[in-house]
Amino acid sequence: MRVLGVDPGLTRCGVGVVEGVAGRPLTMVGVGVVRTPADAEPGHRLVAIEQGIEAWLDEHRPEYVAVERVFSQHNVRTVMGTAQASAVAMLCAARRGIPVALHTPSEVKAAVTGSGRADKAQVGAMVTRLLRLDAPPKPADAADALALAICHIWRAPAQNRLQQAVALHAAKAAKAAQASSKGRIA
């Protein structure tokens, strides 16, 4: 499984590609940051992020895209920019038919470090260890993007089984409802 992790942000949008399967050693395929100037118009910044993510999708051809789920912070301006960058990443993936998964920061931290309250240094250290890198990726946005990809690779099998079970239950319920309504009509 090849996953592009995206740590959304208007100034620095972390991107990282990890390949592997749960239970086996993972491999970093690429890591970087899509940067935009803080003084540029928001629309131009979003176009730059789109172009950067499209380039990563073209080059690395991931099967999935994992994006950090935006959570409420006290600074509304920061949340808005993060949400806009997140939407761009989801749009780029959806346009290509690539499934998108959203993971909260605490889910990612828990998956990678074992603690949902881990700090950035702990996440960077574990990403370095898990991917057998010489040093933590810089800036932290890049390490966070790799952590998102790792989290998705490890969580996807369980999530897929859960989604399949929910779909099967819904199908059985719909079939039972249909059979019940036919019985009443006759």
The catalytic residues are 7, 68, 141
Neighbouring C-beta atoms of residue 91, cutoff 10 Å: 14
Which residue carries 């990726």 as its tokens? 137
> What amino acid is encoded at 151 in this protein?
C
Q: Reduced to 3 DSSP states, what percent helix, strand and coil does the chain have, rounded to the nearest 5?
A: 55, 15, 25
Strands 12-19 and 27-35: antiparallel
Terminal Cα-to-Cα distance of the chain (whole angstroms): 50
Return the exposure string of 27-40: e unless at least 16 CB atoms fall within 10 Å of the residue's CB, then b.
ebbbbbbbbbeeee
User: Longest C-alpha distance within the chain, in Å?
Assistant: 72
Which strands sit side by side in the sheet containing 27-35, from one edge to the other? 27-35, 12-19, 2-7, 64-68, 100-103
